[in-house]
Each structure stands twice: as C-alpha cells, then as structure tokens.
C-alpha cells in the first residue's frame, strides 16, 4: 500500500490514515492522534508511523485532508485536550459525510 513517508508529514496537519483505531489523525511530530471508540466512549489515542518502527508502527498516512494547519499550537497536541477531541470528532464527521 502506498503511503506518505514520515518526512513528508507536517506537525499540526490532519491526515487521512490507515491505522488500527482511526481513519483521521493529526500529526504531532511524535505520533498521530486520532479519535478512538471503545465500549461506546470516544477518546484521543496515539499511534505511530510505520516508518518509525515497522514492527510496532500502525499508521500509514495517505494524504492531508485540510489545506492548512489545524488551529492548534504544537503544545496543544496532547491526548488530554478536550478542544482537540471535539475538533477531531467534527473533522471525522465532515469527512465521512463527503
């Protein structure tokens, strides 16, 4: 499967991804944060690019979905940011409706 190498991913951009737990994720520079659903609860979860470790990396980004960086500074790209959770839920809903 063809995917974007990690050096072509930019911090703060949202990507359509093939991953274990989500289809859209924002790149943090360290990993990809997306919305995971488990037992009816949605929460932010991090997975890592396959280029960082072919044995444990689970994310293969296929392209950026927004033409610009998401409205968050790098320090806000954390799994405990409720605004980021809401933003990613909206992005996922809008992309699924296309």
pLDDT in tens, 25-78: 999 999 999 999 999 999 999 999 999 988 899 999 999 997 778 888 888 999
pTM for the whole thing? 0.91
Q: Please choose, from the candidates 20, 50, 54, the residue with its C-alpha nearest in 3D space to the C-alpha of residue 35.
A: 20
The answer to whether 36 and 21 are in contact (CB under 8 A) is yes
Question: How far are the Cα atoms of 2, 32, 55, 64 from residue 94, in angstroms, in the given order?
Answer: 24, 19, 32, 14
DSSP state of 68: S
The dihedrals phi and psi of 95, each to the nearest 5 degrees, come to -70, -35
- Mean pLDDT is lowest, of 10-14, 55-59, 68-72, 89-93, for 68-72
């Amino acid at each position: 499967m063809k995917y974007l190498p990690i050096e072509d991913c930019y911090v703060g951009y949202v990507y359509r991804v093939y991953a274990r737990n989500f289809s859209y994720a924002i790149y943090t520079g360290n990993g990809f944060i997306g919305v995971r659903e488990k037992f009816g609860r949605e929460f932010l979860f991090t997975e890592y690019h396959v280029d960082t470790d072919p044995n444990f990396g689970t994310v293969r980004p296929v392209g950026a979905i927004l033409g610009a960086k998401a409205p968050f500074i790098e320090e806000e790209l954390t799994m405990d940011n409720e605004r980021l959770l809401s933003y990613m839920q909206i992005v996922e809903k809008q992309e699924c409706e296309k």
